[in-house]
């Protein structure tokens, strides 16, 4: 994961398919939820409007 973190909120549909293995790690054991998009993630850098669960 050398690339800059891109929030899940901005991932395209194709990106979810292509980066499924990475996605699994991002959403495992979620600690934050995005109050804009409703997505959950382990680290807040993956969400555009993260709030702690
Ligand atoms: Zn979001």
Number of structural domains the chain divides into: 1
Q: How far is the CA of 35 from the centre of ligand 1 (A)?
A: 7
Cβ 31 vs Cβ 22: under 8 Å? no
Q: pLDDT digit string (tens) for 20-37?
A: 999 999 999 999 999 999
Contacts of 50 (CB under 8 A, 6+ apart): 32, 33, 34, 35, 41, 44
Residue 25 in any domain: the answer is yes
Entry pTM: 0.82
Look at residue 3 and tell me if it is in a domain.
Answer: no
3-state secondary structure of 40: strand
> Per this entry, what is the length of the chain?
53
Q: Give the domain extent around 38.
A: 8-52
2 found inside a domain: no
Q: What residue ranges in the chain does DSSP mark as E strands?
A: 32-34, 40-41, 50-52
Q: What pLDDT was estimated at residue 3?
A: 60
Determine, yes or no, domain membership for 26: yes
Distance from the CA of 18 to the center of ligand 1, in angstroms? 20
Please give the residue that has the higher pLDDT: either 11 or 3. 11
How far, in Å, from the CA of 15 to the mean position of ligand 1? Answer: 16
Is 12 a domain residue? yes
- For residue 1, being part of any structural domain is answered with no
Encoded tokens for 12: 């395209």
Within-domain flag for 27: yes
- What share of the chain has pLDDT > 70, as a percent? 92
The verdict on residue 44 lying in a domain is yes
């Amino acid at each position: 994961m050398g690339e800059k973190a891109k929030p899940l909120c901005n991932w395209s549909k194709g990106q979810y398919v292509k980066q499924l293995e990475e996605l699994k790690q991002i959403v495992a054991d979620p600690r934050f939820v995005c109050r804009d998009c409703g997505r959950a993630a382990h680290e807040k850098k993956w969400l555009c409007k993260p709030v702690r669960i």
